[in-house]
């Protein structure tokens, strides 16, 4: 077996059903390089030809001739694409509705990786240069490339430390027991280990303290198996387009920087978006919504934004009002009330539009011919909350014009602050098409019918689906029932979504675009909001996402349950989305389904108060869970939200860093301390940035937490008490009575803070507080980002670095924003007792000891230029 190694750049110029699904296809003959590899502008290209032998047409039609492109794109990013020579397979589009690939003119001059390949059978390795570690290795495993079945395997260490691949409700570190993760967008209420709303075929692996990332850019349904010693991809279409991320320093956060360099950096939220949110599905009328708003105020619990679910709609139709319970004038009045109080308002908009022939949005879309079609050319009809519905085809040339009108007119009417786009997998309650010509009817919800009647309707849908045919004109694939059945929790691929044989513009089957549908809506809706207010940062929350959606929208983890398991697992789910480049993410606080108990909601409010996106939300069939309904929950909410609002400048600075660099706002301990094996499975504690550690209670009846602390000194947020850790391996038991969430600040950090108030605007109007938490060397540093808090384009910004060393606090950097509040207080924890006085610009600064901290109050230090404070 001949091998070749490509060492950039010098060597670049050288030529050279689960039980049955689990196994690799060892009988496949594989491929061999035929012909001489040749140079391209950015790498190499060479042809592959199928070897003779048995094991062809395993699940689809084998493709004999392939082309491999290897592009040395950057020093830390390698691109390996294996595609059919005839280019009939459908890749992820090179557009905003898929992934806009970088346009490169030359290869990277130096790389942190090598690429090695074998001729026959073809296989390849990706090698990290710094330690000669093979991080991806397909040798000795088959390559299968069929029209509806692709298989590729890489060897990994036994019990590998792999994070990612989803969207899935599961522990953060993937294990070898529940070992298959299916990537296929699906409307499902967060069952453990099953595929749900989004599609992110990306993982981050850590070996011996060094990390790398692997991304399969493919939007088709797939199973990814984690087994002892290997990871196997089994995909039902498209091509094998891999990106590998190998940063020189081997840090997990550096991998995320490289990954988001490719897929797009997370969007920058406006400051108000970091406030507390409340919603419920099941507000009975406008008075019920006002009751919730007023209840927060009476209980002195912060509330920034009220959300109204589909309750406001007339028979659940987008862009309409229930004339009895939510009349138009009352919704407009609510919006005005919120804005008069410096609060915000958001409503839901679903992609599914009623087919009622008196419904204007449908009539406009029908006239423009912008809806998804059946394979016979009629409009694809599903069933969602309004009854029978059609779905915009985002790929249609007129879809943007159609959507712009509907969205902009709706935003204007209510003066909304953002939109919540739901059900965009797309979700539908039928099995595929519900049939044609079903306007002006009100079908029952099948799960509310007697079992026999529901089964009869389902059988009729199955017959209608089959009658449409298993394929589309000119396509020989079996789109309804591919021979390889991915392990989708929904079973049939067309269950509760669009039929796989329905068509998008250009006669592209939904089979090929399904996982991109919500992502495309994210992109298009953001553009609509930018047309509405071109320099205002759009707020959009989406349920379905794909790689790169985070540059357009935020995400919540969907319809979870009021249970302790879901409370705990919400941390892992948010870790995943931070890693997927969706830093503005959170879970439904207190749970969506089922009835939240007082202890559960209390602990969840404590945890949820620190989510990057923080919102209480539940369903209409559950009991109310507003935090002011229980006194202990209300008190816990006030305390935890006081921590969040005090940290707003720190959060905002982290979001700017995430937007600019790509790192997460929340971070697992293992991503900050990858050399510490004790953190590999820790998905209960979380870091906010690098400097704030939260250790929430996630178990029923617990009043303490067994916490790990990274090496160094950590200060209790509330008492300033120092804990010195010599190793992350040791556990420390922290008291956590019902109304308390343990929070600690890393020694060595300087945090910009505010005095918490009920509203974000009022909080930010207070002077800055600098919290200086000294490390064991008596030093600290930190950062503060300031802008106008809401505009897309920023003519003036400040990016300030604070350092404390040898008793001197210095501020340096860029001071372009001239309207920032001044520093009013400096608080030092961990200071030596011999500090007696301080001075700033020659003026004496009074110092007092408060709660174990050295405090200078009533300062008036402007953030318009450099300054120094000396502590003597």
The residue among 217, 237, 263 that closes a domain is: 263
Domains held by the chain: number: 2
Number of Cβ within a 10 Å radius of residue 468? 22
pLDDT at 10 over 50: no
Q: How much is the mean pLDDT over the chain?
A: 95
Structure confidence at residue 21 (pLDDT): 66
pLDDT at 19 over 60: no
Alpha helices (runs of H) in 157-304, residue ranges in sequence order: 252-263, 286-298
Phi, psi (rounded to 5 degrees) for 630? -120, 135
CATH number, position 18:
2.60.40.1760
pLDDT at 18 over 60: no
851 in a domain, yes or no?
yes
Q: Are 810 and 861 in contact (CB under 8 A)?
A: no
The residue among 247, 263, 279 that closes a domain is: 263
- Cis status of the peptide bond prior to 127, with omega within 30 of 0: no
421 in a domain, yes or no?
no
Which two structure tokens, joined as six digits, stand for 502?
A: 């329905």
Q: 377-393: per-residue pLDDT in tens?
A: 999 999 999 999 999 99
Containing domain of residue 848, as a range? 767-871
**443 to 157, 360, 362: CA distances (angstroms):** 53, 20, 18
pLDDT at 620 over 60: yes
Find how far residue 441's CA is from the centre of its chain: 37
The arithmetic mean of pLDDT across residues 654-682, rounded, is 97
Alpha-carbon distance 302 to 756, whole Å? Answer: 9
Q: 238-292: per-residue pLDDT in tens?
A: 999 999 999 999 999 999 999 999 999 999 999 999 999 999 999 999 999 999 9
361 in a domain, yes or no?
no
Instruction: Report DSSP letters for 170-213, one per residue.
Output: S-SB--SSS-EEEE--------BTSEEEEEEEEEEEEETTEEEE
Q: What is the pTM of this model?
A: 0.96
The arithmetic mean of pLDDT across residues 549-560, rounded, is 98
Structure confidence at residue 54 (pLDDT): 85
Phi, psi (rounded to 5 degrees) for 473? -55, 130
Alpha-carbon distance 182 to 222, whole Å? Answer: 6
305 in a domain, yes or no?
no
pLDDT at 436 over 80: no
Alpha-carbon distance 872 to 855, whole Å? Answer: 14
Which two structure tokens, joined as six digits, stand for 491?
A: 């079973």
The arithmetic mean of pLDDT across residues 782-794, rounded, is 97
Q: Confidence band (pLDDT; 50, 70, 90) for 437?
A: low
Q: 295-342: per-residue pLDDT in tens?
A: 999 999 999 999 999 999 999 999 999 999 999 999 999 999 999 999
CATH number, position 857:
2.60.40.1180
Q: Confidence band (pLDDT; 50, 70, 90) for 637?
A: very high
Q: Are 134 and 117 in contact (CB under 8 A)?
A: no
Instruction: Report DSSP letters for 523-543, one per residue.
Output: HHHHHHHHHHSTTB---EEES
The label of the residue with tokens 């360099």 reads 261
**838 to 43, 154, 844, 847, 871: CA distances (angstroms):** 60, 60, 6, 7, 4
Residues with active-site annotation: 422, 425, 559
DSSP label at residue 10: G
98 in a domain, yes or no?
yes
Alpha-carbon distance 689 to 746, whole Å? Answer: 11
Which two structure tokens, joined as six digits, stand for 280?
A: 């419920």
Structure confidence at residue 3 (pLDDT): 47
The residue among 242, 263, 284 that closes a domain is: 263
The label of the residue with tokens 């419920």 reads 280
Structure confidence at residue 178 (pLDDT): 64
Q: Confidence band (pLDDT; 50, 70, 90) for 228?
A: confident
801 in a domain, yes or no?
yes
420 in a domain, yes or no?
no
Alpha-carbon distance 432 to 509, whole Å? Answer: 13
463 in a domain, yes or no?
no
The arithmetic mean of pLDDT across residues 166-192, rounded, is 91
Q: 29-42: per-residue pLDDT in tens?
A: 999 999 888 999 99
Residue among 259, 159, 126, 145 nearest 202 (CA): 259
pLDDT at 11 over 50: no
Residues forming a β-bridge with 723:
714
Structure confidence at residue 4 (pLDDT): 52
Q: 3-class SS at 360?
A: helix
The arithmetic mean of pLDDT across residues 406-411, rounded, is 98
The label of the residue with tokens 């550096």 reads 254
Structure confidence at residue 31 (pLDDT): 97
pLDDT at 570 over 70: yes
Return the ∠ at Cα 488 (arms to 484 and 491), rounded to 5°. Answer: 85
Q: 810-840: per-residue pLDDT in tens?
A: 999 999 999 999 999 999 999 977 788 889 8
pLDDT at 2 over 60: no
Which two structure tokens, joined as six digits, stand for 72?
A: 């040395």
């Amino acid at each position: 077996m001949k091998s070749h190694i490509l060492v950039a750049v010098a060597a670049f110029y050288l030529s050279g059903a689960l039980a049955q699904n689990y196994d690799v296809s060892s009988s496949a003959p594989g491929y061999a390089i035929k012909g001489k590899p040749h140079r391209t502008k950015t790498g190499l290209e060479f042809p592959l030809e199928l070897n003779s032998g048995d094991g062809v047409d395993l699940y689809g039609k084998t493709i004999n001739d392939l082309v491999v492109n290897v592009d040395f794109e950057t020093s830390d990013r390698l691109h390996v694409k294996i595609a059919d020579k005839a280019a009939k397979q459908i890749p992820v589009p090179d557009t905003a509705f898929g992934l806009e690939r970088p346009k490169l003119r030359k290869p990277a001059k130096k790389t942190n990786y090598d690429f090695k390949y074998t001729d026959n059978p073809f296989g390849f390795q990706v090698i990290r240069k710094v330690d000669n570690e093979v991080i991806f290795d397909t040798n000795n495993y088959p390559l299968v490339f069929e029209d509806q079945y692709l298989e590729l395997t890489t060897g990994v260490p036994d019990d590998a430390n792999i994070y990612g691949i989803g969207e899935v409700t599961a522990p953060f570190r993937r294990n070898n027991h529940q070992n298959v993760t299916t990537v296929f967008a699906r409307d499902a209420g967060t069952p453990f280990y099953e595929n749900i709303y989004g599609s992110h075929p990306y993982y981050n692996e850590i070996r011996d303290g060094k990390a790398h990332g692997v991304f399969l850019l493919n939007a088709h349904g797939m199973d990814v198996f984690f087994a002892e010693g290997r990871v196997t991809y089994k995909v039902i279409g498209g091509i094998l387009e891999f990106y590998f991320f190998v940063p020189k320093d081997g840090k997990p956060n550096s991998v995320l920087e490289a990954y988001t360099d490719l897929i797009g950096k997370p969007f920058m939220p406006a400051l108000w978006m970091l406030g507390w949110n409340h919603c419920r599905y099941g507000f009975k009328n406008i008075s019920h919504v006002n009751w919730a708003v007023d209840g927060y105020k009476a209980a002195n619990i912060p509330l920034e934004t009220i959300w109204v679910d589909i309750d406001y709609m007339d028979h659940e139709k987008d862009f309409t009002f229930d004339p009895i319970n939510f009349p138009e004038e009352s919704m407009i009045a609510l919006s005005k009330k919120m804005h008069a109080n410096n609060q915000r308002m958001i409503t839901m908009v679903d992609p599914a539009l009623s087919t009622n022939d008196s419904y204007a949005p449908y009539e406009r879309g029908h006239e423009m011919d912008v809806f998804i079609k059946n394979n016979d050319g009629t409009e694809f009809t599903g069933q969602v909350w309004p009854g029978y519905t059609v779905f915009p085809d985002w790929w249609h040339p007129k879809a943007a014009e159609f959507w712009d009108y509907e969205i902009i007119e709706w935003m204007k009417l209510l003066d909304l602050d953002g939109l919540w786009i739901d059900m965009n997998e797309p979700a539908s309650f039928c099995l595929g098409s519900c049939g044609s010509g079903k306007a002006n009817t009100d079908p029952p919800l099948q799960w509310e019918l007697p079992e026999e009647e529901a089964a009869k309707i389902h059988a009729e849908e199955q017959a209608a689906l089959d009658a449409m045919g298993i394929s589309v004109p000119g396509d020989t694939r079996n789109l309804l029932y591919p021979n390889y059945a991915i392990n989708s929790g929904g079973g049939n691929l067309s269950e509760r979504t669009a039929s796989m044989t329905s068509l998008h513009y250009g006669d592209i089957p939904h089979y090929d675009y399904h996982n991109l549908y919500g992502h495309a809506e994210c992109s298009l809706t953001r553009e609509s909001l930018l047309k509405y207010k071109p320099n205002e940062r759009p707020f959009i929350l989406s349920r379905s996402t794909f790689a790169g959606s985070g540059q357009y929208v935020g995400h919540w983890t969907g319809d979870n349950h009021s249970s302790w398991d879901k409370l705990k697992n919400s941390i892992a789910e948010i870790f995943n989305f931070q890693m997927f480049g969706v830093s503005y993410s959170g879970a439904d606080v207190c749970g969506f389904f089922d009835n939240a108990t007082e202890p559960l909601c209390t602990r969840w409010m404590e945890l949820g108060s620190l989510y990057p996106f923080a919102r209480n939300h539940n369903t209409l069939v559950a009991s109310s869970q507003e935090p002011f309904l229980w006194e202990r929950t209300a008190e816990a909410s006030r305390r935890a939200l006081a921590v969040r609002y005090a940290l707003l400048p720190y959060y905002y600075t982290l979001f700017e860093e995430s937007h600019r660099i790509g790192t997460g706002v929340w971070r697992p301990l293992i991503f900050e301390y990858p050399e510490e094996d004790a953190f590999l499975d820790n998905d209960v504690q979380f870091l906010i940035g690098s400097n704030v550690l939260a250790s929430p209670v996630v178990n029923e009846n617990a009043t303490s937490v067994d916490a790990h602390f990274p090496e160094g000194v950590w200060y209790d947020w509330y008492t300033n008490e120092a804990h010195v850790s010599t190793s992350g391996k040791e556990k420390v038991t922290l008291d956590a009575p019902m109304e308390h969430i343990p929070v600690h600040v890393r020694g060595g950090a300087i945090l910009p803070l505010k005095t918490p108030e009920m509203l974000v605007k009022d909080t930010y109007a207070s002077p800055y507080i600098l919290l200086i938490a000294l490390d064991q060397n008596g030093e600290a540093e930190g950062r503060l980002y300031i802008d106008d808090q809401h505009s897309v384009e920023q003519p003036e910004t400040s990016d300030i670095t604070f350092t404390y060393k040898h008793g001197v606090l210095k501020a340096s950097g860029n001071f372009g924003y001239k309207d920032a509040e001044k520093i009013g207080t400096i608080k030092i924890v961990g200071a030596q007792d011999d500090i007696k006085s301080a001075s700033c610009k020659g003026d004496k600064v009074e110092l007092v000891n408060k709660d174990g901290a050295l405090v200078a109050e009533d300062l008036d230090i402007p953030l318009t230029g450099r300054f120094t404070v000396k502590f003597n």
